[in-house]
Amino acid sequence: MHYPWWYVPVLTSPMLIAVIAVLHVLVAHYAVGGGLFFAVETSFAYRTGNREYLDYLRRHAPFFILLTVVFGAITGVGIWWTIGLASPLATEVLIRTFVFGWATEWVFFVIELTAAFIFYYYWGRLAPRTHQIVAWIYAAAAWISLVLITGITAFMLSPGRWLESPSFWTGFFNPQFLPQVISRTGGAILLTSLYVYLHSSLLLPVGEVRSLIVRRSTRPAFVGAILITIGGIGWLLFLPESARLALEAAAVLTVLTTLIFALTVAVFVLLYFGPYRNPGWMTPGFAASLLLFGIAAFSTGEFIREAVRKPYVVYGVVLGNQVLEEEVPELRRNGFLQSGRWTRAYVIEHYPQVVGEEREEKKIMPEKLLALPESDRRHLGQVIFMHHCNDCHAAESGYSAVGPILFSRPRPMLVDMIRHLHETHYFMPPWSGTPEEAELLADYLLTLAPERPRGIYPSLEKLENQP
Q: Where are the beta strands (DSSP E) in 106-234?
A: none
CA distance 265 to 271: 10
- Tell whether omega for the bond before 429 is within 30 degrees of 0, i.e. cis: no
User: What was the pLDDT predicted at 192?
Assistant: 95
**What pLDDT sits at residue 448?**
87
**What pLDDT does 433 receive?**
94
SS3 98: coil
- Residue 438: exposure state from Cβ atoms within 10 A (0-12, 13-18, ≥19): buried
What percentage of residues in the chain have a pLDDT greater than 70?
95
Which one, of 224, 229, 219, 143, lies nearest residue 190 by Cα?
224
For every residue of 382-437, DSSP letters joined together read: HHHHHHHTTTT--SSSSTT-HHHHHTT--HHHHHHHHHTHHHHSTTSPPP-S-HHH
pLDDT of residue 455: 64
pLDDT for the residue 460: 61
| CA separation for the pair 414, 385 (Å, rounded) | 14
Q: Name residues whose C-beta falls within 8 Å of residue 179's C-beta, 6 or more positions apart in sequence.
A: 154, 231, 232, 233, 234, 235, 237, 238
pLDDT value for 461: 61
Which residues of the chain, if any, have pLDDT below 70? 1, 358-361, 407-408, 452-457, 460-467
pLDDT tens-place string over residues 404-441: 877 667 889 989 999 998 887 778 899 999 999 999 99
- Cα distance between residue 191 and residue 55, in whole Å: 22
User: Taking a C-beta distance cutoff of 8 angstroms, is the pair 436, 369 a contact?
Assistant: yes
Structural domains of the chain sorted by starting position, each given as residue range(s) with its CATH number in brackets? 13-319 (1.20.1630), 325-448 (1.10.760)
9-51: per-residue pLDDT in tens? Answer: 888 888 888 889 989 999 999 999 999 999 999 999 999 999 9
DSSP code at position 71: I
Q: Is 364 helix (H, G, I), strand (E, B) or coil?
A: strand
CB hemisphere CA count around 86 (13 angstroms): 23
From CA 210, how far away is CA 255, in angstroms rounded? 38
